[in-house]
Amino acid sequence: MNDGHLRDIPEPILRMLQCPISGAGVSRDGGSLVCETGCHRFRISESGIPLFAEAWVSDEGRTQREHYDRIAGAYLTNLSYPHTQEYTAYLDRIFLEVLDAAGRDPGRVAEICCGRGEGFLLLRDRVKTGVGVDVSLSMLEGARAEFAAEGYTFLQGDATRLPLKTAQFDTVMMLGGIHHVSDRQRLFSEVHRILVPGGLFVWREPVSDFFLWRALRWIIYRVSPTLDHETERPLLWSETVPPLERAGFRPRAWKTCGLLGFCLLMNSDVLVFNRVFRFIPGIRGIARFMAHLDEMMLKIPGMRRAGLQVVGSAVARRAPDAPSRKAGH
């Protein structure tokens, strides 16, 4: 039993959690968390991560869990390359600009499909309370190690049935998670549910509104061992905005970023030669130049929707309604 790790979960965080099946609150019971109805018990990993996805996970979530548990090491290695880091700094700046345009403090933040906590890495000391949810324990172990001394809490859970109570967060972030979820309506409804009225949802995701990227990704998603064409679907404006509005959101921003530089510098998991770039003298400067060039090209009339990534935001415009928690629904 992991009594010590269980005591590491702050009481205020514990009060924000719920059983993903029944919707009832949870409480400590020995080295586990138990649903207040007594129907479900949740183990705690050796590192102290509550394992809600052991009790319930969608078929799609199970596939993603197996996929990311398998590629976690390679994924994190790709993020460590100098050209990837420099180009990502451009994408991060766009994300923060969209977030800050809301004119509010992030406050209590949930990062869904958090991976290693990339959103928290951007905000760091701006977060009042931070909770990350991901279906992959391997990715969560990396996040917990990164934030071990900073008071963030990480949970294993399914994005379409979150182990979080209603109206608990001021901001919800997703960086690269939406395109892994096929049931976007359910996902957006869950995000809306955990936000306070007026709360902000902000994301950065692959987007394929430009016909060329749709064609290239059709091929790339089928040849790369780190991508899964059966479960990953980049965003389209026409498939994203309507379910957001039905979930109770008012869309605010839809800004694309990343172009040729993104293709060359951000795909070391797909393009093997990309990994050699890290040995090129001055590669950081080259990556910064490519990012600047891409940003300028996307300002050309007719090119504003041509980016490979989209940073968007939406505001929860009415009090959320909790969806049914009955098993099988």
Q: Is residue 288 part of a domain?
A: yes
Give me the pLDDT at residue 320, please.
44
Q: Is residue 235 part of a domain?
A: yes
Q: What is the CA radius of gyration of the chain?
A: 19
pLDDT tens per residue across all 329 residues of the chain: 445 455 578 899 999 999 999 999 999 988 899 999 888 999 999 889 999 999 889 888 888 888 777 767 667 777 788 899 999 999 999 999 999 999 999 999 999 999 999 999 999 889 999 999 999 999 999 899 888 768 899 999 999 999 999 999 999 999 999 999 999 999 999 999 999 999 999 999 999 998 877 777 666 665 555 555 556 789 999 999 999 999 999 999 999 999 999 988 886 555 666 777 788 899 999 999 999 999 999 999 989 999 999 999 999 986 544 444 443 33
Q: Is residue 125 part of a domain?
A: yes
- The three-state secondary structure class of 254 is strand
Max Cα–Cα distance, the chain, nearest Å: 61
Q: Is residue 323 part of a domain?
A: no
Angle at 152 between CA 196 and CA 66, to 5 degrees: 95
Q: Which domain holds residue 212?
A: 57-316
User: Are the C-beta atoms of 314 and 242 separated by less than 8 Å?
Assistant: no
Give me the pLDDT at residue 225, please.
54
Side by side, which strands form the sheet with 32-35? 26-29, 32-35, 41-42
Q: Is residue 48 part of a domain?
A: no
Which CATH number does the domain housing residue 207 bear?
3.40.50.150
Q: What gap in Å lies between CA 82 and CA 77, rounded to an integer? A: 11
Q: Is residue 108 part of a domain?
A: yes
Q: What gap in Å lies between CA 276 and CA 253, rounded to an integer? A: 36
What's the domain count of the chain?
1
Q: What gap in Å lies between CA 82 and CA 79, rounded to an integer? A: 8
What is the CB neighbour count within 10 angstroms for residue 267?
18
How many residues comprise the chain?
A: 329
Q: Is residue 299 part of a domain?
A: yes
Give me the pLDDT at residue 66, please.
82
Question: What ranges in the chain are assigned the alpha helix state H?
Answer: 3-7, 11-14, 59-79, 82-100, 118-123, 137-146, 184-194, 211-223, 237-247, 260-265, 283-297
β-pair type (107-112, 41-42) = unpaired
Q: What gap in Å lies between CA 236 and CA 214, rounded to an integer? A: 10
User: Are the C-beta atoms of 90 and 154 separated by less than 8 Å?
Assistant: no
What is the CB neighbour count within 10 angstroms for residue 180?
22
User: Are the C-beta atoms of 163 and 50 separated by less than 8 Å?
Assistant: yes
Q: Is residue 322 part of a domain?
A: no
